Structures are given as structure tokens and as C-alpha cells.
Amino acid sequence: MRNTHPVRKVLIASANPLFGKGLQQIYRQRFEAVEFLLTSTMDETLIQLERWQPDLVIVDYDDKTIHREEFLSHFITGQRSMQVMLVSLRESGAVVVYDRKTLTPAQADEWLSDFQSHPPSKRSQTMKGNARHLFIAGGLVIVATALAYFALLGINPLPAQASTQAQAIDRLFNAHFFMIALLFSLITVFIGYSLFAFRSKPGMEDQPGANMKGNNTLEIIWTLIPLATVLVFSFFGARNLAETRMVDSQAMEVKVIARQWDWVFEYPAYGIKSNELYLPVNRQVLLKLTSLDVIHSFWVPEFRVKQDALPGENLVKELRITPIKEGRYTVMCAELCGGAHANMNRPVVVVSKQEFDAWVSSKVNAATADPVERGKRWAELSGCLSCHSVDGSKLVGPTWKGAYGHEVELADGSKVLADETYLYASIVDPASQLVKGYPNSMPANYADQLSDEQIRDIIEYIKSLK
């Protein structure tokens, strides 16, 4: 008993008449509701594709007059649903269907049965023009974006906001957090919703999916929106950068001197030096940064802004900070600068104006006649204690505790007595007498940085460390 089906149109493209007639005979033996059309040239085939609009096209894979690449290119760029089969008699009747799967003759026979038995897929008709899915997915994106954004704010990944510059930068951070939440939601929601809403329904497992092609409108939209987003963020970034560099004519100047691996802060208006950065709250500070050796980078996370410190008198960099929150913070080096880079930290103390004035007075009045105390101060300000311990522990350089008056073994195997002459030479020319087991990492410019009296004071301080 034969099944009744709508008439299907089959176009056979081959210059070999036996190929076309043989396929017609085989097909008619199985199906009755079929209408055939034979073409023998490429031009004729392309014309009939548009004019006759067949449901199935069978192409002679071995026929050189039918240019397979040109035909498939025309097929791919077409608008209507169609099934294509490439048949090769030379390869034992192997068949290649439009999804580029190679089938045996038996598999091809089964595929032809499916073509006759099933009408065209309804998936594309159910998906096209269905705005309901878009509204549902859009609503889920909004909800997911809000949840992700407030979760990021709740985690609070940023340190305390302790300067006016931090306020401007955090506004930009919050905008980035929103974009992170939005992009995360767009990707995960649409993937998850598609897996759920457009999964194969019962009874549709064997039906081919919708034939999708490019959408120029969509491509233009998803190009323009990211471009506009980048331009908007560029504008806000430039505006916030200008805000962090606003000049206050009443700013207090502080010279920041970086060296391996320490910081020294000079206050020209008061004539004092310190290894702690004391700042009055709610007053802008102009930091002028320089380095005595390699590139360093001044960074206090609570202030957000950072600036490199470069070696060279003509490469002084400036950084403006207005502290707004009293407290103790830490300046660290944000540029890899050597072995003790991780320990290049110094306290930053933000206090009230009254406390700052009291601190300045204590520093100004701290001059003493005791050379040991003076030597300790010069050692702290010169960064000596970053490499030499005073408690016997091993750092980058030899400990100062108990060094004076003891015999020292040098890198060349010789031994010397650590007297005043040796200590003086080790400060002004450290490479001349290296202690065994320690690298030659001490700067050789202390003779230019320290006066002879200051070096003598440091030696007195070392002598006191029994």
C-alpha cells in the first residue's frame, strides 16, 4: 500500500542522461508523489533553482560540467529551505548530503525515506518572529545583572576610600562592575535560556534544525553598541583622570626619595626628613618623586593613585593626593625593583592639622648632641636598616649587631677586623670588601649622599650595637 503525500519537487543536475533517468526510476519505485526535472548545465541548474524552487536537489558529484563549489556557494546563500544530495557513482554510490556527512548507499536510502515521510521542519516557523522569548530572556538578564552587580558591591573588593582621588576612581570602578555584571548576565542567561527553551521537543528529535544565516542588522547593532560603550568609558576615564590631577595652590610639598629598598620623605617647608609619611587630613599634598637607583612606584592602595619614581634629577614625577580619612596606611612599591621589593613598605599616617603641627614640632626639636642617636636617625633616613638588621637576623646585608670589633671573612677568603676604618670603607666603597655569603647590592653613592660627619655618626651607632 502506497502512502499519499504532497507532491515533492526533485531537481537532478547531471549531463549524464543515464544518471538522471536511473535515479528517477529508482525514486518512482518507492514514492509516487514526486515531480522530477533534469538539468544538464550549471547555468540551467541555477536558473531552475530560482524558478522551479525544488525541495530536493541531487547533483552528479562526478560530473565536471556541474561546478560543485559554485553550486554549494549559491545554495548556502539562498533564502529558502532545501535539501541537497551529492551522489558519486565512482565511489560505490557514496552520498554526501548538505551537512557534509558521507553516507553509505543504505544510509542514503534511509535519508530519502525521511525526506518523503516528514514535512519540512516547523522549528524555524516557531522560532521566527517570536518576541516572547526575547522579552523573557531580557527580563532575566535585567534580574541577573542587578543580582550580580549588588553582589560585587556587597563583596566590596576595594580597600578603604581615603582620598578625594579615590572617590573619582571608585566611580569608574563601579561603572566597570556594572558592565562586568551585565556582560556576565548576557552570556550566561542567553546560553542557559536557549538550552532550555530551544531544546529538542518529544517527537522532533530527527527533524533538522532551523537554517540560520547572517543578520546584517544584528551585526551592525552588536558592533555599534560596544563601540559606543568604549567611547563613553573613555570619556569618563579622561574626566576622572583630570579630576585626580586638579591643582590646589595651597598644596603642601613633600619630596619622596626612593631607593632599594626604602622610602625617605623630605618636607622642604619645615626642613625635616622622615621615614614615615605624615599628612594632614583634608589638605592636598604635592608629592615630587625621584629614585636614587632603579625605577620604583609609589602606591598607597587606599589613595588609589600611583606614580613611578625614576632615577635622574630631570625625571622628577609629581603626584597629588588629598587625604580625607585619618588613619594609618602603608606605602608600597608597585614596580619590581630587586630582591627585597616585597619589603619596601613605609607607614603613611593621616592626622588632624593639630596633630600634624605637633609632629612637625617634635621633628624640628629632635636634634641631639648624642652621635649614637644621630647615627641611628641617619641610618633610618638613608635606608640602611632595610638591608642590615640590628637584632642579629639575616637580611640582604650583614647584621650590625655585634659587628664592630669582630673579625670578618671576606668574599676573597681573607679576613679583616671590623674597626672604624673597615666600617667607613664599607659605607663609601661597599664593593671593595664584600663579606662572604652576601651579594654586592649596596649602592655605591653613599659618599655623595652623606656628609663625613653623618657617616661617623652611623659608625658610632654600629659600635653601640653590642
Q: Residue type for 258, please?
A: A
pLDDT-based confidence at residue 327 (cuts at 50, 70, 90): very high
Q: Is the pLDDT of residue 305 over 60?
A: yes
Where do the domains of the chain lie?
A: 8-122, 132-198+214-244, 252-364, 371-464
Residue (of 352, 422, 340, 430) closest to 389 by Cα position: 340
pLDDT value at residue 126: 47
Percent of the chain, pLDDT > 90?
24
Q: Which three cell numbers stand for residue 325?
A: 580619612
* 2-16, 51-65, 170-184, 314-328: least confidently modelled range: 2-16
Q: Domain 371-464 adopts which CATH fold?
A: Cytochrome Bc1 Complex; Chain D, domain 2 (1.10.760)
pLDDT value at residue 1: 44
Superfamily of domain 8-122: Response regulator (3.40.50.2300)
pLDDT value at residue 449: 74
Gap between the Cα atoms of 434 and 218, Å rounded:
70
For residue 251, the tally of other CB atoms under 10 A from its CB is 15
pLDDT value at residue 355: 92
Q: Is the pLDDT of residue 166 over 50?
A: yes
Residue (of 394, 337, 320, 1) closest to 166 by Cα position: 320
pLDDT-based confidence at residue 125 (cuts at 50, 70, 90): very low
Q: Is the pLDDT of residue 7 over 90?
A: no
| 229 against 112, higher pLDDT | 229
What are the pLDDT digits (tens) for 29-88?
777 778 888 888 888 888 888 888 888 888 887 777 777 777 777 766 666 666 777 777
Q: Strand 272-274 vs strand 296-299: parallel, antiparallel, or unpaired?
A: unpaired
Q: What is the arithmetic mean of pLDDT over 314-332?
A: 92
Gap between the Cα atoms of 449 and 379, Å rounded:
12
Using a cut of 0.85, tell me whether the model's pTM lies above it. no
Q: What is the arithmetic mean of pLDDT over 114-143?
A: 66
Asked if residues 258 and 296 have their Cβ atoms less than 8 Å apart, the reply is: yes
Q: Where do we find the cell 552588536?
A: 222
Q: Is the pLDDT of residue 328 over 90?
A: yes
What are the pLDDT digits (tens) for 266-300?
998 887 888 899 999 999 999 999 998 899 999 99
Q: Which three cell numbers stand for residue 205?
A: 528529535
Q: What is the arithmetic mean of pLDDT over 303-322?
A: 91
| 374 against 350, higher pLDDT | 350
Q: Which CATH class is domain 252-364?
A: mainly beta
